[in-house]
Amino acid sequence: MPSLYALKPWYTRRLHRFVAGAVARGTSPDLFTAVGVAAAALAGVALAFAWWPLAFLLLAARLAGANLDGAVARARGVSRPWGFVLNELGDRTSDLLMFAGLAVLAVRTGGEPLVGLSPLTWVLVAAVAATLPTVVSVSGAGAGAPRLNGGPLGKTERCALAVLGAALPGLLAWVALVVVVGSVLTAVLRARRVHRSLTRGPVGPPGTVA
């Protein structure tokens, strides 16, 4: 299904100067993983205080770091299995930091329950649901399928929804509900693709991010 992940090649091209500079200096791809996590940590603080313009910029930096680590590794010819592990750990840590910020925002702003659950509860459920697409993709990759990415609700969409939640704290429970539904749908669709891949052959190129 269409998703913002389709913009990744365009975004990578916008970052080509950083890639070229990193190659020229011999910069480790792991540095960009660390930059992405640090940006996510700062974004979590911005989200907690509903500073959504700052959160937008920091989450864009988070995505840039997650994009550049793989791009630099490929450009330098230093891709390695441990880099894949670090990338996954960095992405999951960044997601948790982002949702932690939204959880603090939910506590600070309160809000009306949605289907009997408080905004904070919805944010926590969303944080758990957001891991499902990655669990499916990594499990499939471990079984020999391509590492699947994209949406309908992947990492880029989660960041966009986090900014929306900070911009409209009164709708935070609804935003979290969209994350829950979208994550479950994405996990189901990825599981179907993994099943087809393992029973009929590959269905798409392997990737490095979720």
CB within 8 Å of 15: residues ≥ 6 apart:
64, 67, 68, 71
Residue 9's pLDDT is what?
65
pTM: 0.86
For residue 140, give the nearest of 87, 210, 89 by alpha carbon. 210
* Structural tokens at position 90: 């960095």
* Contact call for residues 3 and 190 (beta carbons, < 8 A): no
What local confidence, expressed as pLDDT, does residue 12 receive? Answer: 64
pLDDT tens digit string along 96-150? Answer: 999 999 999 999 998 899 999 999 999 999 999 999 999 999 999 889 988 888 7
Q: How far apart are CA 207 and CA 210, in angstroms?
A: 8
Record the tokens describing residue 88, joined without a space. Answer: 């996954």
Supply the pLDDT for residue 205. 47
Mean pLDDT of the chain: 88
Least confident stretch, 3-12, 87-96, 110-119: 3-12
Res. 14: pLDDT tops 80: no
pLDDT value at position 91? Answer: 93
What is the pLDDT at residue 67? 84
Q: How many residues does the chain have?
A: 210
Q: What is the dihedral of CA 168, 169, 171, 177, to 10 degrees?
A: 120
Per-residue pLDDT at 20:
81
More confident residue, 88 or 202: 88
Q: Which residues lie closer than 8 Å to 149 by C-beta, 6 or more apart?
A: 5, 137, 207, 209, 210
Rounded Cα distance between 18 and 11, Å, is: 12
- 169 pLDDT band, cuts 50/70/90, is very high
pLDDT, position 95: 96
Which pLDDT belongs to residue 11? 63
**Highest-scoring range by mean pLDDT, 64-78, 83-97, 141-155:** 83-97
